[in-house]
Amino acid sequence: MPDDDREPSAAVRPFWSGTITFGLVSIPVDLYAAVTPRRKSMKLVDQEGHPLGRRYWCPKDEKVLDNDELVRGYETESGKMVVVTDEEFESAAPEKSRDIDLKSFVALDEISPFFFERPYFLAPDERAGKAYALLAQTMARSGKAGIGSFVMRGHEYLVAIVSENGMLRAQVLRYADELRTPESIGLPEPAKAPAATVRALAKEIDALAEPALDLAEMADVDAETLHRFAEQKAKSGQGVIAMEELEDEDGEGARSGEVIDLMQVLRESLGASVAAAEKGTKAKGEGARSSAPKRTAAKSSAATPAAKKPAATRTARKKAHARAAT
C-alpha cells in the first residue's frame, strides 16, 4: 500500500480501492473501516516489560522465518499439501476483484440483522464526480440497499450498499450457507404458548419499552474497568513501561491501525460541507429524508476521537498480509 501523504492523519488508509457499478455507471471508491476496535486490547510484553512479538518459526530448521519465506498450503482430504500462490489467489477472481456490481436493490429493512457482518465506509475517489452523490441520494430517498459482491484480500464479500446522511457504506453480509437455521441446529418446532403467559410477557415488554437507545447501556464496561485499574496502578508507579514497539496481544493490530478520522476522509474525498457532527450534537440529514432521526442522534453521540497507534500498526499490517486469504 502506498504511503499516505496527507500528514495529519497517517492512520487514514483505505482497506481497498475499487469501483461500484450500477447499470453502466461506474463510481471509483475507497473503503475504510466503519467501526473501531474495542479499547480492551492490550500489548504483549515479558515480566520486565520487554516488547514481545509473534514470529513464524520453522520447527525443522529451528529458526524464525521472514514473511517472504512463507507460502500458503491447503491440506486435501488425502493429506496432500497443495501450495496456492498469490497470483493463483487473484486468478480465482479475475473480473470481480475491483468491482462491486450492484445487481439488485432491495428494501433495507428486508435484510435480517443476522446477515450483517462488518461495515465499511465508502469514500468517493476524486474521479467519482457526482455519481457518488447521485447513488447516495437515490438510495436514501427510496429506503433501498444495493446488493453486490466483490473480492478483497483473498475473500469474496457479499455486501449491501447502504446510504446514510449522504454517505455510502458497504455492509458485508454473510452468505446464506454461513447461517444456520433452527432446523439445522435441531431446535424443537414452535409450539402454541399459553395465552396468559404471552400476555404476561407482553406486559413486561411494554413496561420496558423506550423510543431510543441509551448509549450508557451500550458502554464497554470491560474496557472501562481495565482502564480504570491501569490508571490506578500507574499512580503507584508499579509496572509502568514505555509504549515503544509494543504489539497487540490478540493479533488484531491490522484492524486497530485502520482507525479512521472520518471527517478528514470526507472533507478530502467528497469536497463536502459537513454539518455539525461533533460529539453529542445531532447531525441533520441532508437529502436523507428516510433515515430515522432517533438513530442519527444516537450515532452522533457515539462518535469517538480515533486513537492512533502508529508504531504497532506497520508490523501488524505486514503480519496480516502474510495471514491473508485464510
Partner 1 sequence: MSARAIWKGRLVLGKHEVAVKMYSAVEDQAVHFHLLHEKDLTPVEQRIVRKDNGREVPKEAQRKAMPLDDQRAVILEPDELDRLEPESDRAIHLLRFVPRDALGDQWFDRPYYLGPDDDSDAYFALAEALADKERLGIARWVMRDKRYVGALSAADGYLRMTTLRRADQVVAVPAVRPDKARTPSAAEVKLAEQLVESITGAFEPEQWHNEYRARLHKLIDAKAKGTKLRLVAAKPKEATGDLAGSLRASLAAARGKRVA
Q: Indicate whether 47 belongs to the interface with partner 1 (CB under 8 A).
A: yes
CB-CB contact of 283 with 165 (8 Å): yes
Which of 26, 1, 22 minimizes the C-alpha distance to 11? 1
Q: Which of 4, 6, 73, 321 binds partner 1 (CB under 8 A)?
A: 73
The total of other beta-carbon atoms located within 10 Å of residue 118's CB is 15
Residues 301-320 touching partner 1, rule: CB under 8 A, are: 301-304, 308-309
CB of 4: closest distance to partner 1 in angstroms? 19
Q: Indicate whether 50 belongs to the interface with partner 1 (CB under 8 A).
A: yes
Residues forming a β-bridge with 157: 150
Q: Which of 1, 4, 6, 129 binds partner 1 (CB under 8 A)?
A: 129
Residues 130-159 touching partner 1, rule: CB under 8 A, are: 130-135, 137-139, 141-142, 144, 146-147, 149, 151, 155-156, 158
Site string for partner 1, 176-195 (x = CB under 8 A): xxxxx-x-xxxxx-xxxxx-
254 or 270, CB closer to partner 1? 270
CB of 30: closest distance to partner 1 in angstroms? 13
Number of residues that bind partner 1 (CB under 8 A): 208
Which of 178, 176, 162 minimizes the C-alpha distance to 100? 162
Tell me which amino acid residue 101 is.
D
Q: Indicate whether 1 belongs to the interface with partner 1 (CB under 8 A).
A: no
- Grid cell digits, residue 7: 500528514
Residues 5-24 touching partner 1, rule: CB under 8 A, are: 19, 21-24
What whole-number distance in Å separates Cα of residue 107 and Cα of residue 115?
14
Residues 82-121 touching partner 1, rule: CB under 8 A, are: 82-84, 87-99, 102-107, 109-116, 119, 121
Half-sphere exposure of 316 (CA within 13 A, CB side): 22
What phi and psi, each to the nearest 5 degrees, are found at residue 22? -150, 100
CB of 9: closest distance to partner 1 in angstroms? 14
2 or 186, CB closer to partner 1? 186
Q: Which of 12, 122, 161, 162 binds partner 1 (CB under 8 A)?
A: 162
Q: What is the DSSP letter of 7?
A: G
Residues 233-292 touching partner 1, rule: CB under 8 A, are: 233-234, 238-243, 245-247, 249, 260, 262-263, 266, 270-277, 283-288, 292
CB of 6: closest distance to partner 1 in angstroms? 18
- Grid cell digits, residue 69: 519465506
What whole-number distance in Å separates Cα of residue 105 and Cα of residue 162?
10
Residues 208-227 touching partner 1, rule: CB under 8 A, are: 208-223, 225-227
Which of 266, 20, 285 minimizes the C-alpha distance to 140? 285
3 or 231, CB closer to partner 1? 231
Q: Which of 4, 6, 58, 289 binds partner 1 (CB under 8 A)?
A: 58
The total of other beta-carbon atoms located within 10 Å of residue 50's CB is 11
Indicate if the alpha-carbon torsion angle 82, 87, 89, 95 is positive or negative.
negative
DSSP-derived pairing of the beta strands 99-101 and 16-22: parallel
